[in-house]
Amino acid sequence: MCEVIKDKSLQQVIGSVISAAIFEAIKRGHVELIAEIIRTNPLLYGLIDENGKTMLQFAIECRQEKVYFFLYELSGVLPGILAITDNLNNTLLHSAASLSPLAQLNHIQGAALQMQRELQWFQEVENIVPPKVLEVVNDTDGMTARELFTKTHKELVKEGERSMKETATSCTVVGALIITIMFTAAFTVPGGNNGDTGMPMFLDKMLFKVFIVSVALSLFSSTTSVMTFLGILTSRYAEADFLKSLPKKMIIGLFTLFFSIASMMIGFVSTLFIMLDEKSWIVIPIILLASAPIISFVWMQFPLFIEIFAYTYGAGIFSKKVKPWVISEKIDSELDWERQFNAYRRR
């Protein structure tokens, strides 16, 4: 393919079977093929499909971040390509405002995280396009990119709200149960109280101190968890809330809930040690059983916690380093590219 296109002009390749293959490669995320094509004939960086979409615009529409990284790195050669519109006057930002392909969305767990990723894509493209692009109205819907984003993501926002509320409701019930148990345990100490002084019988034992501290930590963390999840339930669920606000609350809620469960199990085990006079042959099997709720919670909820944390506070897909592809030739000039491109558009 490279041998065929190395001496071709932009007009000769546009609309050909080679053009179709290149855009199919973009759709599938094969950045290596795109790099080889542009290395062979750098002028093809300005290639467009039958709808007038540039390669960069199509990569954004298909949500192929590797191809996007590569093509955006080259945009310094042709900065004008960031402001080009397709045949229906859709800009790069309009492509980011469209809903991601289902295959891309299915890789992300939950509608709330899917909405967060959509916002991250839109925000990324919004940061690279010229300011004049923000107010461009397309011919299909008569909308700016921001208005189009709201329209296309209306159902995803509703689904994200529903999933967040379901998770928050379930976790609130668990947190409320832990509060009740820990509040009772704080005043029902193991061994009872001294009838004369009213002080706990095992006050001087280290394990009793472990029990008190773990109960206190469990009570405070579960209360924090419940208040956080109540904050999620009463949120307004605007589009922008899915970017930082709601994920942040979910991270705090899940972490404090996990911490309260772990503290509760520590308090339970320390009580058994005190009551059974540290007989390990009885306590050790019980400890293993007590760890089952913690393990089950980690197995079911911890991956979600890690995923939310990574998407919200991690480097993210837009901070990854781009492979340093070397383009052996340079585009003759921006004017030459624009001349061929405009000639095709007029035709």
Buried b (16+ CB within 10 A) or exposed e, 176-195: eebbebbeebeeebbeeeee
Amino acid at 39: R
Predicted confidence (pLDDT) per residue in 226-251, tens digit:
999 999 999 989 999 999 999 999 99
The whole-number pLDDT of residue 305 equals: 79
- Pick the most confident of 78-87, 212-221, 261-270: 212-221
Instruction: Write down how long the chain is.
Output: 347
- The more confident residue out of 47 and 206 is 47
Give the angle 167-229-287 at the CA atoms, nearest 5°.
Answer: 75
The whole-number pLDDT of residue 108 equals: 85
Predicted confidence (pLDDT) per residue in 79-109, tens digit:
778 888 888 999 999 999 999 998 888 888 8
Mean pLDDT to the nearest integer, 61-70: 91
- pLDDT above 50: residue 329: no
- Residues 6 or more apart from 245 whose CB is under 8 A from it? 235
- pLDDT above 70: residue 14: yes
Please give the biggest Cα pair distance in the chain: 101
The whole-number pLDDT of residue 121 equals: 93
Per-residue pLDDT band at 333 (split at 50, 70, 90): very low
Q: What phi and psi, each to the nearest 5 degrees, are found at residue 50? A: -65, -20
Q: For residues 233 and 2, give the distance between their C-alpha atoms in angstroms, rounded to a whole number.
A: 56
The whole-number pLDDT of residue 4 equals: 84
Considering the chain, what is the average pLDDT of its residues? 83
- The more confident residue out of 134 and 319 is 134
Mean pLDDT to the nearest integer, 172-180: 92
| Distances from the Cα of 33 to the Cα of 21, 28, 186, 227, 276, angstroms | 10, 11, 66, 52, 69
Per-residue pLDDT band at 143 (split at 50, 70, 90): very high
Place of tokens 């995803």: 156
CB 44 within 8 A of CB 7: no
Please indicate, yes or no, whether the overall pTM of this predicted structure exceeds 0.85: no
Residue 206 burial by CB count (10 A; 0-12/13-18/19+): exposed, middle or buried? exposed
Q: Write out the CATH class of domain 2-152+331-346.
A: mainly alpha
